[in-house]
């Protein structure tokens, strides 16, 4: 399975990548390929190279024109990912993502919550 993590906070990105590695093995998803983009331009560059099975993106990315929801909308429109999950610690952001038809995950979240989100 090919994963893309879009997260600008280093320790959170590292933790998410490790969680995906462990869950991929536990859930028997095959060899996990995990890319990590720290910015929206980095994510867009990864999207230009391959299609992802799952994109796990923070909502609150530091960018003057886009946030994680805007990036997710573009990725969905262009078919860059089969599944997109957007994370945020703010309820208003999660509501906006859900209203736009995206799967959401609260921050912080547990390994069990992430595993459930991958399965759904």
Calculate mean pLDDT across residues 11-27.
93
- Inter-residue contact 11 to 24 (CB < 8 Å): no
Give the end-to-end CA distance of the chain in Å, rounded to a whole number.
Answer: 15
Specify the DSSP class assigned to residue 100: T
pLDDT tens-digit readout, 83-105: 999 999 999 999 999 999 999 99
pLDDT in the model for residue 75: 95
Identify each DSSP E strand in the chain by its residue range. 2-6, 33-37, 52-58, 81-88, 103-106
Report pTM.
0.92
Non-local (6+) Cβ contacts of 14 within 8 A are: none
- pLDDT band for position 28 (50/70/90)? confident
* Coil/strand/helix, residue 9: coil
pLDDT tens sequence across 60-85: 998 888 999 999 999 999 999 999 99
Q: pLDDT at position 95, please?
A: 94
In the prediction, which pLDDT does 31 show?
A: 83
Domains of the chain: 2-119 (3.40.50.2300)
């Amino acid at each position: 399975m090919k994963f893309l993590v879009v997260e600008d906070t280093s320790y959170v990105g590292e933790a998410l990548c490790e969680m995906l590695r462990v869950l991929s093995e536990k859930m028997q998803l095959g060899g996990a390929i995990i890319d990590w983009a720290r910015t929206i331009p980095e994510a867009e560059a990864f999207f230009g190279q391959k299609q992802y099975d799952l994109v796990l993106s923070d909502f609150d990315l530091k960018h003057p024109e886009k946030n994680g929801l805007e990036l997710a909308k573009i990725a969905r429109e262009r078919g860059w990912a089969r599944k997109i999950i957007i994370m945020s610690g703010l309820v208003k952001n999660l509501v906006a993502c859900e209203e736009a038809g995206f799967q959401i995950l609260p921050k912080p979240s547990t390994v069990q919550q992430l595993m459930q989100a991958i399965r759904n």
